[in-house]
Structure 1
Amino acid sequence: MLETYLINTNFVLLFVICLFYWLSAYDFLPVFFSHQWVLKNIGNSAILLSQIFQAIFLCVRWFTSHHFPLSNLYESLLFLSWLLTLLLFIINQKLKIPSSEFLIGSIIMPIILFINIFALFSLPSELKTSSALVPALQSNWLVMHVTVIILSYAALICGCLFSMAYLVLTRFVSQQEIETNLLTENQANQVLEPLPSSSNNKMQILNQTQIIHKAQPKQFMVVEQLMRLLDNLSYRTLGFGFPLLTIGLLSGSIWANQTWGSYWSWDPKETWALITWFVFAIYLHTRFSKGWNGHKSAVLATFGFFILCFCYLGVNLMGKGLHSYGFLN
């Protein structure tokens, strides 16, 4: 009963937070507040409250089941949701650009809300009830391996979402540049047409045209600053998640050897985890050695997001392989 109350209350709170960040990002809420820090404190306080609700739920689940709550898809999804809110809270504390936390919150909060919707309304009830661990999971490696893997997933998901938002802003800037260039040409033509062809008027025309073209980039200064922020955040969070994914794969191979007598058995989950590792290894390699950044890296990270989603959900939902326990079949 307590678990249901906590998770339902947190779901409502997450929905409100998501709506809050979307309205703030589109400047619907700031008009009612004279100071941006008021909205920032409201958002951070709500995220902190959600973390507390989720942490209490995980502790209650741990106490009732007598094992760390990561034995099935339901528990891992809610643990992932808690880690994503934690990362969002930490990132918001480090941001230096004014109002950028609203953009970051509007990017991460929808995926957190989607994870909770999927866990609460799509999974069968038998996965939501506490049960004893299967023999394969009765090991101290459960906390080490699964915790590190889910933490790496949270960091990689955040990095991929930032890259996807970067691509959206790139599209927005390109469209705005086309419209502004057309507007600038019309303004220049209006300046050029009515004046007679004297030397003084020609100098005046030239100066006015230069002013028009110099003022144009200022319209995109804020968007370009946010794009650089998203590219940097994507690189940093993916750079944080990749070593964790590596540690998770190594710890999983050691655990597999102790449980099944083999470090690597080419199980579908293991295979797709390796594919995921290679995709983000290529991402970091191209950043370091090839100097890729911006659009190219964002496209590669977006591709990695879909590979990661299939590795985490798709393989498990098929119910095949050695990692199918505690999941749908």
Structure 2
Amino acid sequence: MNIEIQNNLINIAFVMSLIAMLFYLTQIIFDIDKKNIGLLLTIGINFSLGIMLTIRWIKTGYFPLSNLYESLVFLTWCITALHITTEYKTGNRLIGAITSPVAMFTLGFSSLSLPSDMKKVMPLVPALKSNWLMMHVSIMMLSYSALIIGSLLAILFLVLSKGKDVNIQGSSIGNDNYNTKIMPDLNHNSGFSSNNLSLLESLDNLSYRTIGLGFPLLTIGIIAGAVWANSAWGSYWSWDPKETWALITWLIFAAYLHARITKSWQGKKPAILASIGFIIVWICYLGVNFLGQGLHSYGWLA
């Protein structure tokens, strides 16, 4: 009965994410400025997934992050939670336009592509019976969600500025000046209206700050994982495929933030680096699990 309820909640969240995506796209394409039903739908998605995870948590007695199915659901919950917070504070509907497809495809993949045995409520395997499970994996999922959204915003920035000479100088994280500034070489010949410039500024700054949130979480998650690995396997670092790709992910976004903070790169160059980071995050999180190799393959897709 619990499995049926969980599946129904996932299906409800999937349908709402599809409707939310269509609503956001319709708003943007036809420039409709009405009450944001998309945000309300996203709240519904987040609530449905939260209930599903809570039911699973109560049933198993541990936080549901023991396999790929559970982590995909939790990742979607994190993405929608960050979307709700960000859109509520900024009022930017483009965030919903890029996060709702991610939520829809992630839920679709978890429901349709993964083995049915993985969806069943199972006792926690001995290797994962640790308090570090909740801390390490939950922080990593939170970091992935922030990095994914920040990277998608960077991709959108590149799409909207394609073929244009754009050089935006952004503020540093923590600077009281929230708005980015246009460099002097961006003039009326660039083909951008003031509204377009304002939109690019917003996307650039929001991408920067979202990645700035995800990077320290990624750092904490990797450190927590190393401590857990030492207690479980007797070594802080084993150059496991998951560990290696986590390090690559960390280096990509460290380079992005370094370029932005030092202002050595502005505009499109760091956005390209963040776009590469989007692919790297998915390889680290999802692609490595299909290898079936390494210490982290246990409990995923081995």
Indicate how the Cα distance of structure 1 residues 304 and 219 shifts in structure 2: closer, same or farther if over 3 A, else same: closer
**Equivalent residue in structure 2 for 1:262, among 213, 235, 238:** 235
Counterpart for residue 225 of structure 1: 198
Q: Give the equivalent residue in structure 2 for 1:253.
A: 226
Amino acid corresponding to residue 61 of structure 2 in structure 1: H
Does the 8 Å CA contact 1:163/1:298 hold for their aligned counterparts? yes
2:77 corresponds to 1:78: no
Give 1:113's aligned residue: 104
Residue 53 of structure 1, aligned match among 36, 45, 48:
48
State, as a whole percentage, how many aligned pairs show the same letter.
49
2:255 is the alignment partner of 1:311: no
Structure 2 match to 1:33? none
Quote the Cα distance in structure 1 between the aligned partners of 2:138 and 2:188.
51
Aligned to 1:185: none
> What's the counterpart of residue 295 of structure 2?
322
Larger Rg: 1
Picking from 246, 254, 257, the partner of 1:273 is 246
1:2 corresponding residue in structure 2: 5
**What corresponds to 2:131 in structure 1?**
140
- Is 1:12 aligned to 2:15, yes or no? yes
The structure-2 alpha-carbon separation of the partners of 1:151 and 1:276, relative to structure 1 and needing over 3 Å to count, comes to same
Q: Note the alpha carbon deviations across 1:77-113, whole angstroms, 9 max, x for none.
A: 01000111111111111115xxx32x22111211111
Q: Could you tell me which of 146, 151, 161 is aligned with 2:142?
A: 151
Is there any run of 5+ residues in structure 1 with no aligned partner, and where?
Answer: 31-35, 175-213
> Are the equivalent residues in 2 in contact too, given 1:69–1:75 (CA < 8 A)?
yes
User: Deviation at 1:173?
Assistant: 5.0
Whether 1:26 and 2:17 are equivalent positions in the alignment is no
Contact residue 164 and residue 190 of structure 2 kept, 8 A: no
Change (3 A) 1:172 1:115: farther
Question: Equivalent residue for 1:93?
Answer: 88
Alpha carbons 1:173, 1:220 under 8 Å: kept: no
1:241 aligns with 2:237: no
- Give the RMSD, CA atoms, in angstroms: 1.7
**For 1:201-233, what per-residue CA distance to the aligned partner results, in whole angstroms no more than 9, with x for missing partners?**
xxxxxxxxxxxxx98779622222111111101
2:67 maps to 1:67: no
* Cα pair 1:173 1:223 within 8 Å, conserved: no
Classify the secondary structure of the residue corresponding to 1:70.
coil
Separation in 2 of the partners of 1:104 and 1:307? 21
Residue deviations 1:105-128 (CA, integer Å, cap 9, x gap): 111211111111111111111111
User: Shift of the alpha carbon at 1:136?
Assistant: 1.4
For residues 38 and 270 of structure 2, the distance between their equivalents in structure 1, rounded to whole angstroms, comes to 30
Which among 282, 288, 292 is matched to residue 261 of structure 2? Answer: 288
TM-score of the two chains, using structure 1 as the length reference = 0.81
Structure 2 vs 1, CA of residues 253 and 132 (structure 1 numbering), >3 Å: closer, same or farther? same
The amino acid of 2:199's aligned partner reads L
Amino acid at match of 1:121: L
Partner residue, 1:211: none
More displaced 10-residue stretch of structure 1: 73-82 or 44-53: 44-53
How many residues are matched?
Answer: 278
- The one-letter code sitting in structure 2 at the alignment partner of 1:163 is A
**3-state SS in 1 of match to 2:221:** helix
User: When the two structures are superposed, what TM-score results if normalisation uses the length of structure 2?
Assistant: 0.88
Pick which of 158-167 and 122-131 moved more. Answer: 122-131
Structure number with the higher helix fraction is 1
